[in-house]
């Protein structure tokens, strides 16, 4: 039987020491299979973002085991974790994190530049990724020339340009109005459904979490509930028009 794509076993994360120590995660265990769409929910300080940072190899646990494709991640060196990130993971942030004076094309090419791909390969892959998120023809626009929804589409194109196994989305609709938020969720749903990309999304918005097939609720550093969503929301189009975003 194949191992889960992601497996956390007894993960604890403590910051600081002594009386001032903060226990952000308290022995959580969960597994994510390839192709899942999981919403991670919980109030501020519940540990959900810490868990995402550990899964994304941006942080390491104080105790417990994290396995990715069966490999012990917490035992890897910093450089090995960086290589795992570049090869398998894509990131989407609430604040878009785009370079202001750089075109959409150049923003999307950045992960490939860090990976050492040649200029022609970077250009072709970025053009395909922008087309996949409905931004064909917008390659030479800077973030200032794009709406919030379009900027988040660029951020998603940047996340998928390396063909990752997993997209980690941290409040991806937090800076968008409801309509644009649903369009972005429709896009993430389509990437999961049509391309088989595993999606893990932190959100505090129940209507956005409703797109996921599974909801994991965090509270006080523990997993309070882990439940299937048998009827994920399908209300947003899979590929909304970019010029309406």
CB 134 within 8 A of CB 153: yes
**pLDDT band (50, 70, 90) for residue 235:** low
Q: What local confidence, expressed as pLDDT, does residue 3 receive? A: 85
Q: How far apart are CA 214 and CA 230, in angstroms?
A: 8
209 phi and psi, to 5 degrees?
A: -60, -25
Residue 224 token pair = 């309070």
Which value, to the nearest 10 degrees, does the dihedral of the CA atoms of residues 49, 55, 56, 59 take?
Answer: 70
- Flag whether pLDDT at 221 surpasses 70: yes
Cβ-count burial 33-46 (b if 16+ within 10 Å, e if not): eeebbbbbbbeeeb
Per residue in 15-30, pLDDT tens? Answer: 998 888 999 999 999 9
What's the fold here for domain 35-49+88-244?
Rossmann fold (3.40.50)
- Flag whether pLDDT at 8 surpasses 70: yes
- Tell me what percent of the residues of the chain surpass a pLDDT of 90: 84
Q: What is the mean pLDDT of the chain?
A: 92
- Tell me what percent of the residues of the chain surpass a pLDDT of 70: 95
**pLDDT band (50, 70, 90) for residue 1:** low
- Flag whether pLDDT at 239 surpasses 90: no
Q: How far apart are CA 121 and CA 116, in angstroms?
A: 10
Question: What is the DSSP code (8-state) at residue 19?
Answer: G
Q: What local confidence, expressed as pLDDT, does residue 240 receive? A: 41
- Flag whether pLDDT at 108 surpasses 60: yes
What are the structural domain ranges in the chain?
35-49+88-244
Tell me whether residue 32 is exposed, middle or buried, using C-beta atoms within 10 angstroms of its C-beta: 0 to 12, 13 to 18, 19 or more.
Answer: buried
Q: What is the mean pLDDT of residues 143-160?
A: 95
Q: What local confidence, expressed as pLDDT, does residue 94 receive? A: 86
- Flag whether pLDDT at 243 surpasses 60: no
Q: What is the mean pLDDT of residues 227-239?
A: 69
- Flag whether pLDDT at 115 surpasses 90: no
Q: What is the mean pLDDT of residues 106-131?
A: 95
- Flag whether pLDDT at 245 surpasses 70: no
Per residue in 161-197, pLDDT tens? Answer: 999 999 999 999 988 999 999 999 999 999 999 999 9
Alpha helices in 66-103 (DSSP H): 78-88
């Amino acid at each position: 039987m194949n191992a889960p794509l992601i497996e956390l076993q007894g993960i604890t994360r403590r910051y600081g020491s002594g009386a001032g120590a903060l226990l952000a995660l308290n022995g959580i265990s969960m597994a994510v299979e390839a192709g899942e769409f999981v919403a991670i929910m919980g109030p501020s300080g519940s540990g959900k973002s810490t868990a995402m940072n550990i899964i994304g190899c941006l942080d390491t646990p104080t105790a417990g085991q994290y396995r990715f494709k069966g490999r012990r991640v917490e035992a890897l060196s910093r450089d090995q974790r960086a290589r795992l990130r570049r090869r398998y993971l894509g990131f989407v942030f609430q604040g878009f994190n785009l370079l202001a004076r750089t075109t959409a094309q150049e923003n999307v090419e950045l992960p490939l530049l860090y990976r050492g791909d040649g200029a022609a390969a970077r250009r072709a892959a970025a053009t395909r990724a922008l087309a996949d998120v409905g931004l064909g023809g917008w390659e030479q626009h800077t973030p200032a020339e794009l709406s919030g929804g379009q900027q988040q589409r660029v951020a998603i194109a940047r996340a998928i340009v390396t063909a990752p196994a997993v997209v980690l989305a941290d409040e991806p609709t937090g800076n968008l109005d409801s309509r644009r938020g649903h369009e972005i969720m429709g896009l993430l749903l389509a990437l999961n459904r049509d391309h088989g990309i595993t999606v893990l999304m932190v959100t505090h918005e129940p209507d956005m979490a409703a797109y996921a097939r599974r909801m994991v609720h965090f509270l006080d550093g523990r997993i309070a509930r882990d439940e299937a969503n048998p009827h994920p929301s399908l209300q947003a189009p899979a590929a909304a028009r970019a010029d309406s975003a």
